[in-house]
Amino acid sequence: MIGERPTGQAVSAEDAAGVLLETARQLAAELHRRSSGEISATLDNSLEQDLGFDSLARVELLARIERVFGISLPEQVLANAETPRDLLRAVLTAAPAAAALKGIQRSEAPLQVSAEPADALTLPGVLDWHVRAHPHRTHITLLDEAGREDVISYVALQQGAMKIAAGLVEFGLQPGQSVAIMLPTSHDYFCCFFGTLLAGGVPVPIYPPVRVSQIEDHLRRHAGILSNALATILITVPEAKPVARLLRAQVETLRAITTAAELSVSGQAAEYPVQADNIALLQYTSGSTANPKGVALTHANLLTNIRAMGQAAGVTSTDVFVSWLPLYHDMGLIGAWLGSLYYACPLVVMSPITFLARPERWLWAIHQHRGTLSASPNFGYELCLHKIPDDVIDGLDLSSWRMAFNGAEPVSPATVVNFTQRFARYGLRPEAMAPVYGLAECSVGLAFPPPGRGPLIDCIKREEFTRSGRADPAGGENAEVLRFVACGRPLPGHQIKIVDATGNEVGERVEGYLKFKGPSATSGYFRNPEQNRLLFREGWLDSGDFAYLAAGDIYLTGRAKDIIIRAGRNIHPHELEEAVGNISGIRKGCVAVFGSPDPASGTERLVVLAEMRDIDSGKQEELRGQINALTLDMLGMPADDIVLAPVHSVLKTSSGKIRRAACRELYEKGAPPPRPVWWQVVRLAWAGALPQLRRGSRVASGILYAAYVWVLFCLLAPVTWLATALLPRPAWGWALSRGSARLLARLSGTPLVVRGLENLPCKAPFVLVANHASYLDGIMLVAALPGGFHAKEHFSFVAKRELLDSIVSRVYLRHIGSNFVDRFDPERGVEELKQVSRSLRSGSRPIFFPEGTFTRMPGLLPFRMGAFMVAAEAGVPIVPVTIRGTRSILRAGHWLPRRGIITITISKPILPDTKDWAAAIHLRDSARAEILRLCGEPDLMRGTLQEQDAQPGEEI
């Protein structure tokens, strides 16, 4: 007899088996979109191979079993059960449902550390800095299944790592050689990772087998990674050692297979001196075994990325990071652990199995340890939404959680909204939700939102976006709206650009291919020149993602590459397609493997679409079993859905390549109408070709437009330059230039909207300051500001002295009354600023671009002090002018102008209170705040040194 069911009726072991099998059948039918009558299940079926249950499906199955029987199963059942019979044994011996966690005593917040290892060049250098500064400070708190804690200090980590390093040296490890680490989340993992670094080796994290019975297959799947990494030593669990020895026949470089316990018996060894440009980590994507891609990351890459993420998120030593993320994944390894190590913020970590079995334990750990930072792929938040009943989180307090990072897979707008709404009653603040973007090729992080801003969800017009790739905002709630989540802005020192199929950068709110570069970016894949050629283009790296930019934020819209992201794991479909095509009864080259969004789980379903040679052969179930077994063998997870289709169902290009996106679209639309196959193929081919034709015509139109604008400019510019050079008065030159600029805008079809002209002071001196986004800014200001041949007052640019080196710029700027200031000689620069101040008395109205320069990335740079010193000392107002649209039309480093609208807004004058340095600071801050409010771009001064601490005369 077992525990009481909800009805209160006792159930026999025989009845329990029937209930359990029926529960499994119903779940399998839901997962694979079939009726429960089509699913056969016995007590000895394999949960993975026969029923197709991956880790997320197992979570759902165990949750249903616990609800049906009113019991609480041990967490290890999730990992170890292989058949329904194993589950039945667990059910028969299980305890009644455990009482909800309540009244957990909360720990104290960590003490603040006064500094950080800013001068450290390597990861061992970071650890050594902390050991010297606070050796016994808590670094890691390991939580086991029962909630018991194992605390690791900085000195304990270093001492454990030194023992591992000594053991590795005894095993013959040479500097620069790779050490594969195949361990679960544990004390041993942390020590082995740093021990490898201390010995001069390169860690290669590999995810460990979930079940002991899988070890042989698991290791065989990883032989390609070990061979590519030239791994010489494999550190693994004791149970894997006997089977792991078989790897030596497949991996020529592998000399030793050992455990952390065997390595730790040796004495301490001297630390090998590593350099900043040494490889610190080989990060392998998890889904490709035949052609492994190991991202090579140096110590400099990792530390730069950690510092940039910390700056963007405002991380300090008073933060607490709570993580369940696996340590073989870059988000858990670098983002959670190494980031916490650098900033001395305690890391509370649990096994991924603990989270999957009891997701509420993650939230209770945040409650108990006053967690401020935590992260998960989207499916983790969905798991909390659907698998945590209210009664088990009664009394939960999430008010300490200030940044809930959501990344590593597509972020669902619905997940963000629903998670925020449900857990708001437990103290979660909406502004804590932080969708982010990153990839292993950029260490881990590439774009973060500002702390405390909260998520931005962009509603755009579906028809316009699918037709032309333009993400035009849409209002209201209707079926014609697409929603995308903002994933933040580029980290400090990093750049993102969106390009079209020709490689030309597109404008604001236009979808394209996302490229990036920065100091965190990898130098390439380890020993994979073929993939490296695809990764790099003129110094930029290809992310493989589609996206668009809006107001400085990146919005991910899809993947250009056919990678499937299943519960945070990357899966490359082509290898599985080839293997499935070799099955007897399946048409070779007629298999498509793709991912399809699953709203229920918040991640992607793995779908295999295969053409049968004879659809009426009656072998469908046998073929499904073979395909599922092959999928499990190659990827370590079963397929979510296997679709056996007639000939010509798998769509291809004219050259014979699989059109996975089109196949996915066909799958998601459901069964095709009863029309001839050739008609379906032609119809879908035409539907797929139309967007390509539209995109191609858009690119061609853009190039023709750019050529037209340059012809206009080349016709107008020489005439304007020559006439200005011949005119005797600067005001006349300005008036002529104004007419030419307006003509250029009109003929190029560029609407110029000018607001606030009434805010310009009449017949009184003032200083005008404007943001700087493009080479067009000066031209458009000339077109927008008043000025005639008979005007007594005239505007004049304050330009950098370097422009005097060119006769073209020198003659033109001097003849419209410009002043020149030396940016590099402070004494000369101050004198020239005084000349600008004197020119105010003669009717000149100087125009400053206080940013001093502009960049291709959106954002307002810090302001220099020159304009504000002139205004304060002269006692005249500052007039802020905001320019919008020029960056999108002609971006820095991009010489193909695009269509767009330019808006120039003139704000009300800001008067100085006094004539001293404090007044100049006030003018600067007030003007910058006004321009920032109106420019629609992010603040690039966040986290940078403020100029309030500068001395008068240091900046111009």
Split at pLDDT 50, 70, 90, the class of 690 is: low
In this structure, which amino acid lies at residue 778? G
Q: Name residue 884's beta-bridge partners.
A: 903
Average the pLDDT over each of 310-319, 330-339, 610-619, 883-892 and give the range with the smallest value. 610-619
3 state SS of 716: helix
Task: Give the separation between CA 471 and CA 452, rounded to whole angstroms.
Answer: 26
CA dihedral 258, 261, 262, 265 (to 10 degrees): 150
DSSP 580-643: HHTSTTEEEEEEEEEEEEETTTTEEEEEEEEEES-TTSS-HHHHHHHHHHHHHHHHSS--SEEE
Task: Give the separation between CA 412 and CA 356, rounded to whole angstroms.
Answer: 20
CB 889 within 8 A of CB 902: yes
More confident residue, 106 or 487: 487
Task: Give the separation between CA 181 and CA 240, rounded to whole angstroms.
Answer: 12
Q: What's the chain's average pLDDT?
A: 84
Give me the phi and psi of 770, to 5 degrees please.
Answer: -135, 150
pLDDT tens for each residue of 858-872: 889 999 888 898 888
Q: What's the whole-number mean pLDDT along residues 410-420?
A: 93
Dihedral-angle region of residue 830 (phi above 0 means left; psi in -120 to 50 means alpha; beta otherwise):
alpha
Angle at 472 between CA 466 and CA 476, to 5 degrees: 100
> Which of 84-93, 194-203, 386-395, 632-641 is the most confident on average?
194-203
Split at pLDDT 50, 70, 90, the class of 142 is: very high
Split at pLDDT 50, 70, 90, the class of 650 is: confident
pLDDT of residue 132: 95
Question: In 895-943, where does DSSP find H-type helix?
Answer: 917-935
Pairing type for strands 256-258 and 231-236 reads parallel
Task: Give the separation between CA 939 and CA 926, rounded to whole angstroms.
Answer: 14
pLDDT of residue 951: 29
Continuous segment of H or E residues that includes residue 799: strand 794-800
pLDDT tens for each residue of 461-500: 988 887 888 999 987 556 578 899 999 999 999 999 999 8
Pairing type for strands 138-143 and 149-153 reads antiparallel
Q: Name residue 484's beta-bridge partners.
A: 458
% of the chain beyond a pLDDT of 70? 87
Split at pLDDT 50, 70, 90, the class of 156 is: very high
pLDDT of residue 852: 85
pLDDT of residue 477: 57
Q: What's the whole-number mean pLDDT along residues 38-46?
A: 83
pLDDT tens for each residue of 329-379: 899 999 999 999 999 999 999 999 999 989 999 999 999 999 999 999 998
pLDDT of residue 943: 41
CB 514 within 8 A of CB 498: yes
Task: Give the separation between CA 843 and CA 793, rounded to whole angstroms.
Answer: 5
Dihedral-angle region of residue 838 (phi above 0 means left; psi in -120 to 50 means alpha; beta otherwise):
alpha
Q: Is 70 exceeded by the pLDDT of residue 456?
A: yes
Task: Give the separation between CA 933 and CA 811, rounded to whole angstroms.
Answer: 36
Q: Name residue 460's beta-bridge partners.
A: 473, 482
pLDDT of residue 573: 72
pLDDT of residue 572: 61
pTM: 0.80
> Which of 140-154, 560-574, 603-617, 776-790 is the most confident on average?
140-154
pLDDT of residue 480: 79
CB 766 within 8 A of CB 876: yes
Question: In 98-139, where does DSSP find H-type helix?
Answer: 123-133
Neighbours of 946 (CB within 10 A): 10
Write out the two tokens for 304.
């730069």
3 state SS of 883: strand
Domains of the chain, earliest start first? 13-96 (1.10.1200.10), 564-672 (3.30.300.30), 706-949 (3.40.1130)
Task: Give the separation between CA 307 and CA 32, rounded to whole angstroms.
Answer: 44
Split at pLDDT 50, 70, 90, the class of 945 is: very low
